[in-house]
Structure 1
Amino acid sequence: MAMAMACNIIHLLHFHPTPYRAFARTTLTTAFRIPSPFQNSLPKPISPPRSLSTTATFTWDDVLRVSQPQSISDSDDVTDLNGYFEKIKMCNRGSEMRFEFMPFVIENQIVGYIHNGFAENLRKFQKVFKFLPDNSNDGFHGGTVTLHPSLKTQEDRTRSVGEVVKILGEQQFPGIRNELYPVISSFGASPLFSLERAAAPYFGIKAYGIHMNGYVEKEGEKFLWIGKRSQEKSTFPGMLDHLVAGGLREILISCMQFNMVKCQPHGIACGENVVKECQEEAGIPKSISSRQVLKCFSCSAISVGAVSYMDIDGYRYKRDVLFCYDLKLPESFIPKNEGRRSRTSAQFSSGKVNYMLIRLKVESYRNGEVESFKLIPVAHVANVIRRTSIFKPNCCLVIIDFLFRHGYIRPENYGYLDLLQSLRSGDYS
């Protein structure tokens, strides 16, 4: 019976060996198993945006409504894992399309994968890209893409590929941010060049980021601070997000005379980046986020592991690793986005659950990262993840990981090990 009902995670694991393949034939349904008398009491669905750039239109009132426990079925609680599997699948789509991509190789290292169709845009730049015939690329077809042999230095490669990105522009790379990611074969390796962040998925390069769960404990109950992304964001505008998150990108200063890469060992370490993002995105001072200042393990951002995923969407191939951090915050702390000069105001709702809503009053032309914050019970955040698609997709993985580590998801819950394994479906190097 257990074999027959095992969760199908074949297309989550992307060809990684797993003992579950032998019996992974059916999927766990995500339908609510609700007795018919209670159908009318179900929360109304919240429609997610249809693309990366489509603005989400829900309100915090919608979020609170859908987060409420229904108390009408044993399956309709935080321990029902069906909805979590669906969110992990949203970050691990398209594995059957993997063979449509060619390896992107530099200095005999595979640094990415480029779709055969997208490669046609690059063939006209013969002084930048070279296309080599297929010599049995470990099951791939269509040959290999590399850079022209004349591009020997990191600076030359960055400049030349950057010119290609500039020429192809927003039509090919929506949401250009003028932020550079280091192109590396694995975490900690030396960068071979740097690439515009918006173009990274089209070259299939590995990307690394940090996500931090900011939580509060009140009278034995845990709450998570959740952010609502600015409507001005180029990706996932208006969707729910972590209190603090950021990519480990490269900052180029003065025509590439100095490089500072936000990952070890090339500059700013992950922990330092967390402290920096805490200040910028949520106004969390270093005195709270950094153990080096407080000398206190329990009141600083703590590294708790990582999640990974591999997602193919058309020509985009995302191979991401997110380093996870937890930060226990004081009850009195109120987040504010430092990206804007703003003043915060707090509102408290009536009832047993004490929600806190922080709205940012914009007083300058600068676009902040976050529109507002809300403090929500962890179990209610779990309901939002299970029932809706209004969280930025990769945030769901990090919060599900939080639910495991803080005891909300337990070994007694059916599908426990499958769900735990699927949080690390991507390349973990």
Structure 2
Amino acid sequence: MSYLDKVRACNAWDPGEFIPWTLAGERIGSVRPGFAQELRRWPEQFRVEAYRVDWAGAPDGFQARTRVLAEVVQTLVETGLIYPQHGEAYAVTPGRRDQARCLIDRAAAPWFGVRAFGQHLNGFVRTGGGIELWVARRAANRLVYPLHLDNLVAGGLPHAVTLRDNLRKECREEADIEPALADRAEPVGAVTYCRGARDGLKPDVMYCYDLELAPDFVPRCTDGEVESFTRLPLAAVAQLVRDTDEFKLNCNLVVIDFLVRHGGIDQEDPDYLPIVQGLRSCLP
């Protein structure tokens, strides 16, 4: 295995297996043709064609579209087609979060191929032997990647919550990092990837942060999502990412981005440019 393998795994999808979901001429998502057929239940809303699904009957207004889409999603949940809702609202957008045309529950976002946003934070310590990273081990009851390794802090970014406020919340819940310390996190860019999954498509954006921590800082999970934390030398974390499947898949990208920025991947590496380019994939 290699770093590039992990980048490619996060970008494994076939555009030919999806058709655009459009609203007023804008692509706001991507759906599998089989799922598109399920939307024929609402002919007054969706015009289903071989090459796209057009939300032709969408009402005017943000709130009205959100309400109609929520009713559609709830019916699909009740029929057992998609997962129960999380109660966390994500933007349905052709691009940025502030361009949201309506909202969709987080659980339904992949089915509609909606762009999802999140925040991931690398917590690190400088020692005499070099940089060490704090990594989390996800709790056994996690529905996705139970007991896998994770970034120190990672979470979804709901609509209408600022980046600063959401990062503060995630830091407090996942690692007991106080707001004043969370505010010292350095925004270092964003990682994008697009991956096909059983439940649809994940064209995701992860805002990334570095937070230098004191040697005596010890994280503590307060929301039950993390089983334990371990502080490891950067080389050991790099080996876990490169040679194992211990990390939750998309968290590999956040660590690889950290390695690129901190000299952990040599520029002479023949995979260097494909890795760097793969961390910023174009999203449909």
TM-score relative to the length of structure 2: 0.93
Q: Which of 368, 373, 396 is 2:252 aligned to?
A: 396
Whole-angstrom distance in 1 between the partners of 2:119 and 2:102: 21
Whole-angstrom distance in 2 between the partners of 1:288 and 1:173: 39
8 Å contact from structure 1 (residues 183, 193) kept in 2: yes
Amino acid paired to 1:192: R
Aligned counterpart, 2:143: 234
Whole-angstrom distance in 2 between the partners of 1:287 and 1:202: 38
Per-residue CA shift, 1:233-270, capped at 9, x if unaligned?
Answer: 222222111111111113xxxxxxxxxx13xxxxx1x2
Aligned counterpart, 2:98: 189
8 Å contact from structure 2 (residues 23, 56) kept in 1: no
Aligned: 1:90 with 2:9: yes
Aligned counterpart, 1:382: 238
Change (3 A) 1:418 1:371: same
Aligned: 1:203 with 2:112: yes
Whole-angstrom distance in 2 between the partners of 1:221 and 1:88: 25
Moved more, 211-220 or 186-195: 186-195
8 Å contact from structure 2 (residues 4, 271) kept in 1: no
Please report how far the alpha carbon of residue 410 of structure 1 lies from its aligned counterpart in structure 2 after TM superposition: 1.7
SS in 2 for 1:123: helix
Whole-angstrom distance in 1 between the partners of 2:272 and 2:56: 48
Whole-angstrom distance in 2 between the partners of 1:100 and 1:90: 17
Aligned: 1:225 with 2:225: no
Whole-angstrom distance in 2 between the partners of 1:240 and 1:412: 28
- Percent identity, aligned pairs only, is 39
SS in 1 for 2:137: strand
Aligned counterpart, 1:172: 81
Please report how far the alpha carbon of residue 94 of structure 1 lies from its aligned counterpart in structure 2 after TM superposition: 2.2
Which protein has the larger Cα radius of gyration, Structure 1 or Structure 2?
A: 1
Amino acid paired to 1:323: Y
Please report how far the alpha carbon of residue 150 of structure 1 lies from its aligned counterpart in structure 2 after TM superposition: 5.4
Please report how far the alpha carbon of residue 127 of structure 1 lies from its aligned counterpart in structure 2 after TM superposition: 3.5
8 Å contact from structure 1 (residues 128, 147) kept in 2: yes
Please report how far the alpha carbon of residue 188 of structure 1 lies from its aligned counterpart in structure 2 after TM superposition: 4.1
Whole-angstrom distance in 2 between the partners of 1:247 and 1:275: 13
SS in 1 for 2:5: helix
Cα RMSD (Å) of the superposition? Answer: 1.8
Please report how far the alpha carbon of residue 205 of structure 1 lies from its aligned counterpart in structure 2 after TM superposition: 1.1
Amino acid paired to 1:147: W
SS in 2 for 1:398: helix
Aligned: 1:216 with 2:72: no
Aligned: 1:337 with 2:221: yes
Amino acid paired to 1:384: L
Q: Which of 12, 29, 37 is 1:112 aligned to?
A: 29
Aligned residues: 283
SS in 1 for 2:250: helix
Please report how far the alpha carbon of residue 220 of structure 1 lies from its aligned counterpart in structure 2 after TM superposition: 4.0
8 Å contact from structure 1 (residues 233, 369) kept in 2: yes
Q: Which of 190, 204, 208 is 1:320 aligned to?
A: 204
Amino acid paired to 1:309: Y
Aligned counterpart, 1:371: 227
Please report how far the alpha carbon of residue 168 of structure 1 lies from its aligned counterpart in structure 2 after TM superposition: 1.7
Whole-angstrom distance in 1 between the partners of 2:84 and 2:261: 35
Whole-angstrom distance in 2 between the partners of 1:314 and 1:287: 40
Please report how far the alpha carbon of residue 175 of structure 1 lies from its aligned counterpart in structure 2 after TM superposition: 5.8
8 Å contact from structure 1 (residues 209, 248) kept in 2: yes
TM-score relative to the length of structure 1: 0.63
Aligned counterpart, 2:171: 278
Please report how far the alpha carbon of residue 161 of structure 1 lies from its aligned counterpart in structure 2 after TM superposition: 1.6
Whole-angstrom distance in 2 between the partners of 1:121 and 1:249: 27
Whole-angstrom distance in 2 between the partners of 1:426 and 1:312: 14
Please report how far the alpha carbon of residue 310 of structure 1 lies from its aligned counterpart in structure 2 after TM superposition: 1.0
SS in 1 for 2:104: strand
Whole-angstrom distance in 1 between the partners of 2:58 and 2:87: 25
8 Å contact from structure 2 (residues 46, 57) kept in 1: no
Per-residue CA shift, 1:9-40, capped at 9, x if unaligned?
Answer: xxxxxxxxxxxxxxxxxxxxx3xxxxxxxxxx
Whole-angstrom distance in 2 between the partners of 1:314 and 1:419: 25
Please report how far the alpha carbon of residue 315 of structure 1 lies from its aligned counterpart in structure 2 after TM superposition: 4.9
Q: Which of 133, 145, 151 is 2:59 aligned to?
A: 151
Whole-angstrom distance in 2 between the partners of 1:124 and 1:239: 39
